[in-house]
Amino acid sequence: MADKIDMLSLDACALRERLASGALRAVELIEACIARIEAREPEVQAWAWFDPDFARHQARALDAHRQAGRAIGPLHGLPVALKDIIDTAKIPTENGCVLDQGRVPNKDAALVERLKAAGAVIMGKTVTTELAYMQAGKTRNPHNPGHSPGGSSSGSAAAVADGMVPLAVGTQTGGSVIRPASYCGVTGFKPSFGAIPRTGVLMQSPTLDTVGVFARTPADAALLTQVLMGHDAGDRATSPQPVPDLPGIAQSKPPVKPVFAFVKPPGWAEADPQLHAAFAELTEALGDQVFEVDLPKAFDEAAEVRERINFAEMARYYYRYSKQSDTLGPRTQEALTKGNAILARDYLAALDWPDVLYAGLDEIFERCDAILCPAATGPAPEGLEFTGSAIFNGLWTLTGVPAVTVPAFTSENGLPMGVQLVATRGQDARLLRSANWFHTWLHDAGD
């Protein structure tokens, strides 16, 4: 058991090195993960579908592949969990919804195909809120089961936070990657809009839906994202362009220490006082590497605009569910009702806002490497019905910029709180490098 505990304490980059060198077999790592899941799943409840024998079969095949002297992929032997709105061939994908119980796709999502080609072990499907909206699922926060893990990628965040898997995939339409990562105390990365194809992923809002990842460190997030990024003909939001060397850039030393622009997003006044105090200490510790700046006044309307787009598109793409809306949770029903009431002129006008808001960030990004702000309004809320506010996330989803959260603070009740870093569109590698620097700086400061 000691070996298993030590193994699960390693981050994905370290595990990848051992798997590649043969110092660690895929079967050994998978057995350690299975043992952890079986021990902790009754309390955390992160999984919607998990079959130990399915994971073992993949691991044995990967070990045989390597032992035969054949080339291995960049994720060889690494277990990856998938949010249960991502299609997996011959494996249930039920979207957290009773209306989709028993649904088994015939084809993998594009990102799953890429994971398999890279040598990853598909560990299973993690719990999502109902239809990836706000009706909470069964997952609990690993740090305190009486508190929310966030949503909608609740199971993915919790599984990584609890050491069940080193890597997981989720999605964000409002704050569904960054917020649960902050609540559970892991790194969450939402890349630029269109960076990762959504082909085979439940569509809620094509203007906003973004695939993201969960990991222990920014370097681990870069390792996984590198494999997932790139053009796919099935998703018009993607474009044919080279994928940068995310892991190499993320782990490289910045030419100069990063400079951060600290912003207090709309909703700051309502945030937990502990968060206010933590950021005051953080900005003081960063010294001349941080300056405070206000967001343009137009951002005060970002939450309302994002919601209008989300609800209108949700009503369109969830129409098949609305026919039996009485079987859905009250939060989902309410969103569909609001979406159906939005006028076409208001929806079309809202579609102009992302680029308008993004243009307002130019002056800030010219002066910094990344914007620094909270990942959530405080620690995870008590109770399991409310998955938390996405007020500090939705504006970045709306503008399509990359965002990453790094665990930084601990609340009075022992729950984690994250710091969110945001960069300009397309600068995902540079953002991960700044986040990796920040992650190292935090650990050095803690020592």
Q: Which positions are annotated as active-site residues?
A: 83, 152, 176
DSSP code, position 296: P
381 vs 389: CA distance, rounded Å: 9
The CA-based dihedral angle spanning residues 364, 172, 74, 197, taken in that order and rounded to the nearest 10 degrees: -100
Q: 95 — phi, psi (to 5°)?
A: 60, 20
8 A C-beta contact, residue 266 and residue 303: yes
The answer to whether 154 touches 128, Cβ cutoff 8 Å, is yes
HSE-CB for 153 with a 13 A CA cutoff: 39
What is the number of H-type helices and E-type strands within the chain? 18, 11
Residue of 166, 221, 158, 220 lying closest to 184 (CA atoms): 158
Alpha carbon of residue 409 to chain centroid: 19
Task: Enumerate the β-bridge partners of residue 86.
Answer: 201
Max Cα–Cα distance, the chain, nearest Å: 62
Report DSSP letters for 357-389, one per residue: HHHTTHHHHTT-SEEEEESSSSSPPBSSS----
Q: What is the rounded distance in angstroms from the CA atom of residue 346 to the CA atom of residue 305?
A: 9
Bond from prior residue into 9 cis (ω within 30 degrees of 0): no
Do 142 and 162 contact (CB within 8 A), yes or no? yes
The strand order across the sheet containing 47-49 reads: 47-49, 121-126, 79-83, 167-172, 210-215, 187-190, 403-410, 416-422, 370-374, 260-262, 290-292
Query: What is the CA 331 to chain-centroid distance, rounded?
Result: 22
DSSP reduced 3-state for 291: strand
